[in-house]
Amino acid sequence: MKKFLQVVVFCIIYTTPVFPISGYKNFKVAVYARAYEVQKMDSIQWLERIWNEISQQVNVDKIYLETHRDLIIVNEKTIESAKKFFESRGVKVAGGITLTVNESNRFETFCYTNPDHRKKVKEIVEYTARHFDEIILDDFFFTDCKCDLCIKAKGNLSWTQYRLNLMTEAAQELVIKPAKAINPKVKIVIKFPNWYEHFQGLGFNLETEPKLFDGIYTGTETRDPVRPGQHLQQYESYLIFRYFENIKHGGNGGGWVDTGGLPYMDRYAEQLWLTLFAKAPEITLFDFRQLQRSIHDTDRAEWQSAHPSFNFDEMIKPVQTGNGKTVTPTTVARAAGYTFEKVDSFLGKLGNPVGIKSYKPYNSQGEDFLQDYLGMAGIPMDIVPMFPADAKMIFLTESANFDPQIVNKIKEQLASGKNAMITSGLLRALQGKGIEDIVELRYTDKKALIKEFAVGGQSNCMSKGEILIPQITYLTNDSWEDISCIASGIGWPILHQARYSKGSLFVLTIPENSGDIYNLPPEVLNRIRNVLSQDINVRIEGPSQVSLFVYDNGTFIVESFLPENVSIKVITYKQINKLNNILTGEEISGKVGQDGRIWGRERTDIMTFDVNIKPHSFLVFQSK
């Protein structure tokens, strides 16, 4: 038996926090209930007991009641009585569908080539549309089927092209049209999962589907970045929401977080607040069952004595509900409630999120999830599906190679006096496709194992460990190393600059293992941040795994994912001479200029502020 923390709670002296009975000011909260649990809701006593426990720890505005998962279909009587139960408590109700045949069999989906499967999917959709005016499709509206019917139907197309066409057709013919025929008012929302880089291979079509569906929704669950699994970086919980918002402006209904793979409770809270930093209007907590997970003493991370942003001891304090009742936290629902109360206190002060534009054409792939790694390295990113011709600086990864016009678009960008940074992966992909018209660089098949760097002509700095990089060669005095690395007495470019027309093309060498980005020395990261931040008026200096979130009204957030305290510098333009810490009201003064010279030049047009961040914590600032 796990030792629960309720016992400890009674020994702590505290003031009782008040639970926000009327909901949160800046966002809505929804809970998703799977068909397995909706089935059990035929017992109102059972439902009432669980619901009371959840809803007295976190304020919930809406519930998604799933009608189907794994061929389990909830009966109409249970759906209707559950709807009535929630509506009578002022909770908005919507339907949910998970289109799995057997989730536990490697996420077995339906076969959209097989007429019997197609008929079944249509029936499930029609059944659900009869009971709800809003329906969300959970993660599984894709296909991994390679049955003989699919192999035959695919013909000479790639699996990606076959499935992209197939699922676009299935969205129209098996979901949207049948649902609207039954219930013309029904709003149908497709929730996309967190593995956006690989969608097209399984038929999730970000080009066609957001236009077809009434709304989209974002899987912002990143879970554990290190242990076996997807290896998604924490920053993705923010960036994926922004990316999908850029695909369907105003149509991205919310972010979706579960309790899976939690190494410590702070990780759960981080996913929730990163989703909110992205300005998601709603968060869905997956799911009704997971919210009943008890709080364990092992959930308290080792850095908790530093009182980080997610303060575990504060979270487990009893809370006072609206009717004067005091409730002792028992389950993970309180971790969500606590996090929401904390973030809601300042979220309204933030403007619209902004970042360095990174163009990712629809259904493209290459250098998987690289923008998330850069986000973790303190570079505010913003992925967009169209070429961002208005940005002074753009960042392009290998994915951009999926646009056949990409070289011409880069040329136009440079000719109009703007700049671009491309990765070594994109350089490789564009070899022989016209990139040499801009600069004659060679991405060779040779590698170098490096540890020593030289930045801006200054003295050398070292990385945490040896890093393997591709060797890129160039013509002397045709283009220039901006950041160099040195191995066995030979230097290779890490950041390389080529002038063309009225702009500059920078090439960033990406380590063979993108995780090594985190091992780059702060001096190297600082220079990359500096070059990239031409459209952003604030940047940070310091080690990796400290992220920066910038808003268009002079507010910004710095968040550390490191397990220890970290000191960073915030760099702004000179007109900003004070930073106001929104959480504490404290004012920080800066000093003119920055430490060290870049290319022999001393900067007097910028301000530097010293900032200390606790482990796994964030600070919110307003520049003055």
Residues that bind Zn ion (CB under 5 A): 111, 113, 145, 147, 149-150
* 211 conformational bin, left if phi > 0, alpha if psi -120 to 50, beta if neither: alpha
Q: How far is the CB of 154 from Zn ion (least distance, A)?
A: 9
Kindly tell me which of 145 and 315 has the beta carbon lying closer to Zn ion. 145
Residue among 73 and 149 whose Cβ is closer to Zn ion: 149
For residue 114, give both structure tokens. Answer: 């097989």
Nearer Cβ to Zn ion, position 144 or 207? Answer: 144
DSSP letters spanning 459-515: -EEEEEEEEEEEEEE--BTTBEEEEEEEETTEEEEEEEEEEETTEEEEEEPPPSSGG
CB of 117 to Zn ion, least distance (A): 8
Is the CB of 150 or the CB of 175 nearer to Zn ion? Answer: 150
Cis amide linkage into residue 287, ω under 30° from 0: yes
- Distance of closest approach, residue 150 Cβ to Zn ion, in angstroms: 3
Minimum separation from the CB atom of position 206 to Zn ion (A): 23
CB of 144 to Zn ion, least distance (A): 9
| Helix, strand and coil percent figures for the chain, each rounded to 5 | 30, 30, 40
Helices (H), 262-363: 265-277, 312-315, 332-347
As a whole number of angstroms, the distance between CA 141 and CA 158 comes to: 19
Please name the residues in contact with 73: beta carbons below 8 A apart, sequence gap of 6 or more: 35, 67, 124, 127
The smaller minimum CB distance to Zn ion, of residues 55 and 109, is found at 109
91 vs 101, beta carbon nearer Zn ion: 101
Cα dihedral 346, 347, 348, 350 sign: positive
CA 244-618-20 angle, 5° bins? 80
Quote the least distance from Cβ 143 to Zn ion, whole Å.
7
Distance CA 71, CA 109 (A): 11
Least gap, CB of 162 to Zn ion (angstroms): 10
Residues 540 and 378: their CA atoms lie apart, in Å, by 7
Q: In DSSP terms, which residues pair with 549 in a beta bridge?
A: 557
In the complex, least distance from residue 124 CB atom to Zn ion, rounded to whole angstroms: 18
Tell which residue, 121, 156, 126, has the closest CA to residue 140: 121
- Cβ nearer to Zn ion, comparing 145 with 528: 145
24 vs 112, which CB is nearer to Zn ion?
112
Task: Give min distance, CB of 82 to Zn ion, in A.
Answer: 34
**Nearer Cβ to Zn ion, position 200 or 413?**
200
Question: Residue 41 or 175: which CB sits closer to Zn ion?
Answer: 175
Quick one: which of 500, 363, 506 has its CA closest to 424? 506
CB closer to Zn ion, 203 vs 219:
203
Nearer residue to Zn ion within complex by CB, 113 or 200: 113
Paired sense of beta strands 460-473 and 442-455, if any = antiparallel
Q: For residues 419 and 390, is the Cβ–Cβ distance under 8 A?
A: no
State how far the Cα of 145 lies from the Cα of 170, in Å rounded to an integer.
Answer: 14
**How deeply is 181 buried, as exposed, middle or buried, from its count of CB atoms within 10 A (0-12, 13-18, 19+)?**
exposed
Nearest to 118, CA basis, from 88, 153, 161: 153
Nearest approach, Cβ of residue 149 and Zn ion (Å): 5
Please state the closest distance from residue 437 (CB atom) to Zn ion, in A: 45
- Identify the CA nearest to 450 among candidates 491, 495, 507, 482: 491
**CB of 132 vs Zn ion, minimal distance in Å:** 29
Q: Which two tokens stand for residue 256?
A: 């979706």
